[in-house]
Structure 1
Amino acid sequence: MKQTAPSEEVRDLMIQFAEKTGISTPKTLPKRYLWTDAFAVCNFLTLYRQTGDEEYIRLALNLIDQVHNVLGKHRADDPRTGWISGFSDEERQRHPTAGGLRIGKPLPERGPTDPYDDQSEWDRDGQYFHYLTKWMHALCRTSMVTGNPQYCRWAVELAQAAHDGFRTLPQPDGKKLLYWKMSIDLSYPLVPSMGLHDPLDGLITYHELSLCTQKFTGALTGPDLTWELTDAATMCEGQHWETTDSLGIGGLLCDAYRVVQMTAKGQANMSGLLLALLRASQYGLGVLASHDHLNDPPEYRLAFRELGLSIGLKAIANMRDIVTAHPDLFDYSLAQDLEGLMAHVPLIEIIEDFWRKPTNQHQESWLDHRDINMVMLATSLSPEEFLSV
């Protein structure tokens, strides 16, 4: 994806985030949250690509170390201590992701015999599969930008731990799926239902990691993701990806773009899945347009969910260009679907302009989620590394 000159706004957002959450200020207690941090790593990598300033690489690598040191450990209010993997300090240095990573929620996780409360569960810690796949992607991009294969290896080890830890017991039809939320040590499910797009995120991310591993052939050793890829593909069979959630639609578009890029690189041919993703996106965008939520006042809106949509919308033109340039690899109907999706691209400016206004950034709905909103606004304004494979 073509790199553009960084805006002062993107730099300011990311420097503020680094200072506020303890990445660049040693005296500030690190405040880590896995989803936000995955986007932030990609943003620092983008700024490095655009400027050549090594400070941004330093911030990205500092952030990765903090995530592994904070979210790879049990919480301070947990009677358990040490690494959630159960490894010794020496083992953990070599394999910091092998036990997964905590979400970073404010409340401790629910115990295995504690009653379930749908409202409080959103604020409780644990592990989310779709957060882990975002971190895998961030580690993969770090290897690709720095040329250091260890981040790719850590991403593969995280993929293996996550797939094994989240895999459910066989369903009535014999199929295994993925739990929505697991305990910090991956020993029991906190939410036993499955996230709508979790197997999809797994399948596409595993393909991305395989592509990354190929780049470092000879420098990486250990098991590959062949079994996980096959299992995730089985989980995806017969699934429907339609959603009317703005963040979910954006995620579908990002996933579609990753499939397009990997197909163009010869990594995978998932034409049927790609068509399904584009049509599910078109459906969701149609419903979103009919409800006209983007005209609601800020107190009824969540910036990070809308910005997730904006990030995905920025992939549409890039997909169209790649598909058009490779008629031997892509069905003509895909180009038609992408032309139809282009009608929704003007939403990018509407979303970004709304949340860039200082008056809207002073609203409670922004301030309650300030860190994630800042980082995802920066990603939307300059999404190059996040959208790349």
Structure 2
Amino acid sequence: MSEPGRDEAATRLMLDFAARTGLTGDQPARRYLWTDAFAVCNLLGLGGGGGSASLRGLAVRLVEQVHHVLGRHRPDDPRTGWISGLSEEAGEAHPTRGGLRIGKPLPERGPDEPFDPELEWERDGQYYHYLTKWMHALDQWSRFTGDPSGNRQARELAVAAHAAFTYAPRAGGTRRMYWKMSIDLRRPLVPSMGHHDPLDGLVTYLQLRAGGGDPGDGPALAREVAEMAAIADRRDWVTDDPLGLGGLMTDAWRLDRLIRRGAGGEALLVPVLAAASRGAAAYLRQRQLERPLHDRLAFRELGLAIGLHAVARLDAAVREDPRPYEAMPAVRRHLEQLAEHLPQRGVIEAFWSRPEHRRADNWLAHHDINEVMLATTLAPTGYLSLSLVEPGESVDSHAAA
């Protein structure tokens, strides 16, 4: 499929998503934070440069709608207003200071309700890894538009999320993280730590600092970076989960952008690339991409395809200018190993682009997230374009990286 054809297919997917979830048309608003983070990036990328201004407008509208839906208490909750507890006026000015709800269909588990691992998947609350995706989307909003308010709101969200999700064990030692918190961020709902949450948090904090303007416009994140670096120190990031692998690959690309700007991340790049390389080899040895349709989850595989797009960009950047890594030969070695898997992008995209596969029950069960992440795979610029621009500039005046 040609680049114009890919953009056209991605645009159709995004316009259908906008109508189906109440961003356009007369359907009630149905917001879900993970999906909406990718959607904002897609709309920005498709509407950037020579794209449609109406798509850029939809991205701005989606940000506002997410804040007004997921930044406020649920309609079936006796609590009302902003989940941060701020006044209406203050909440409008700082919509992310209390975090953002996931957008799950069921209310969160009450303090006296027993934990049910199956039911918990359908219950509302806050996920740290969803919040980092929204931080990235807000930062991309600032990068694409030159409006610093997105980065400021992302940094305010980082402070709120970090304070709630990280904690010091009673016995002392390194801080740890909760995986899921209550809507008001006052109590953990799932106390275990997500495998890649510390890594995603640290890379995102560094990205937000690099994309910010005057520190007076928002938190500087010095404490958050230091504490998350301690949590992430010497952890093993290896996974054979395709969505997790895609995240590792994307984090490696983001680290390259930071390193080239002198914004940190040098100590992370080789461990992340090594984990991605080992994990990708293990996953593909299992021949998971040859399994029957009913045994596959599109959004997880599409996450891997997005990560492989990031690997292709990173490989091209290092080939063009290897100077930052002259003393780090392992970067080139792991990239060469990962680049061997780049053809799998096309395999995944082709499989999930087939109309009959997108009518299957396991596609429709996750319709919104599947279609938005397919759009990201077809047109990844909005999600992956981290141009080396100065704060306050927009990517429209620079070539997309």
Provide the TM-score with structure 1 as the length reference.
Answer: 0.95
Using the TM superposition, name which of 375-384 and 291-300 deviates more. 291-300
Q: Structure 1 residues 194 and 337, CA, compared in 2 at 3 Å: closer, same or farther?
A: same
Is 1:224 aligned to residue 220 of structure 2?
yes
1:276-298 Cα offsets, whole Å, 9 max, x none, are 11111111111111211111111
Pick from 294, 298, 318: which aligns with 1:303? Answer: 298
Taking the aligned partners of 1:261 and 1:9, their CA distance within structure 2 comes to 28
Question: Is 1:368 paired with 2:344?
Answer: no
Which secondary structure does the structure 2 equivalent of 1:314 belong to?
Answer: helix
How far apart in 1 are the matches of 2:329 and 2:317?
A: 12
Partner of 1:235: 231
How far apart are the structure 2 equivalents of 1:323 and 1:230? 28
Aligned to 2:390: none
Deviations 1:85-110 (A, max 9, x none): 00110000110000000000011100
Aligned to 2:249: 253
**Cα distance in structure 2, aligned partners of 1:385 and 1:161:** 26
Unaligned runs of 5+ in 2: 387-401
Report deviation, 1:221: 2.3
Find the partner of 2:262 among 248, 251, 266.
266
**Per-residue deviation, 1:318:** 1.3
Partner SS state of residue 189, structure 2 = strand
Match of 2:314 in 1: 319
Contact 2:181 2:187 in 1 (8 A): yes
Aligned mates of 2:248, 2:51 — CA distance in 1: 31
The separation in 2 between residues aligned to 1:116 and 1:169, in whole angstroms, is: 23
1:187 counterpart SS class: coil
- Tell me the CA shift for residue 261 of structure 1: 1.1
- Aligned counterpart, 1:189: 188
Q: Is the 8 A contact 1:253 1:278 kept in 2?
A: yes
Alpha carbons 1:264, 1:322 under 8 Å: kept: no
Counterparts of 1:204 and 1:388 in 2: how far apart (Å)?
15
Partner SS state of residue 39, structure 2: helix
Amino acid at match of 1:280: A
Does the CA-based 8 Å contact 2:155-2:218 persist in structure 1?
Answer: no
The sequence identity of aligned pairs, in percent, is 49
Superposed, 1:1-389 pairs within 5 Å as: 5=4, 7-25=7-25, 27-170=26-169, 172-213=171-212, 216-217=213-214, 220-268=216-264, 270-330=265-325, 331-389=328-386
CA contact (8 A) 1:264 1:326 kept: no
User: Are the equivalent residues in 2 in contact too, given 1:130–1:201 (CA < 8 A)?
Assistant: yes
Counterpart amino acid of residue 30 in structure 1: A
Q: Partner letter of residue 376 of structure 2? A: T
Question: Whole-Å Cα distance in 1 between the matches of residues 133 and 181 of structure 2?
Answer: 16
Q: In structure 2, give the amino acid aligned to 1:228.
A: E
Post-superposition offset of 1:323? 2.0
Amino acid corresponding to residue 285 of structure 1 in structure 2: A
Deviation (angstroms), 1:48: 1.0
